[in-house]
Structure 1
């Protein structure tokens, strides 16, 4: 939490227990094999589009329908309480999806902000693939702020159990092309719009 407060992002290993990462990965692989994932898009409502030049991945929203999903959502609730206690952000709601990048899959530099309203405040990424190395590609790169055109301040390998948190509207990031299939959970805490 101190790193998130100071830098706007934080990376921690073993926040997601390895057994839970393995269970979620197994579920995601089964969904993928069954053709139950949707091509990931960008934007929302009338601005929503699928653009393979910006993002190449497939997703499925989690609904808490399995024991592993419920355990992940319970972990997210614990993190929400800790973030609120430390950063006073008033986080209220959490949504997340499975995300699968094929070989060559990527996501160009972006913010996790949807146009029109402040709806995503803190982003959450949990990695599911074991034994990931630099040769496998698919690293996450972060910049300090949207106007930063220089080199990224951090490059994160997507190793199982690793969690990344970042301020959704402030930290630009990208996923480099993966050299092997890459699996993760991406989520966002939102504030109460009422």
Structure 2
């Protein structure tokens, strides 16, 4: 019996893409535990012992299970880079993007950056920099994170440019503050007693004052 037109497939219709299976809740939990174990090893100053086998052992899963979620140790490091983003980049982005004039946003930024960085996060940054020196994928990923971080300071001075009605190039001003923050963080990591809040407040206000017409 010949097939009717209603039964014939519509060859003109675009193919329906196959739906990817959703990761199970248990799989997501295992992945999160592996990232937590990776953070523990990295923040403990044990970069030389940072292997997928040691991460799996600390997590309490098989080595094969670790490789099911992460191809190699670089994938694990990249997962840690993404995992700490909400702890240092998102708060800065929120401080800059929240409503208010330049002076108010700048004060939020100063207050945020004036808080001491947690020991774990500080150790993680050091470990990630070490891996970046030895792995191009980590270096590219970490540089992308820092570009996003530096963009926050440029966005801050973009608000000032809008308030002043032009004549202000926010990029060099924002980059200058970002470089100063990096220097302060390095000094603090060595135990130097520096009032970061006071330094940043003075720097930002001085840069802002220098952009005034005739300044």
Same fold (TM over 0.5): no
TM-score of the aligned structures, taking structure 1 as reference length: 0.28
Greater RCO, 1 or 2 (C-alpha within 8 Å, sep 6+): 1
TM-score of the aligned structures, taking structure 2 as reference length: 0.26
Select the structure of larger CA radius of gyration. Answer: 2
Higher helix share: 2
Higher strand share: 1
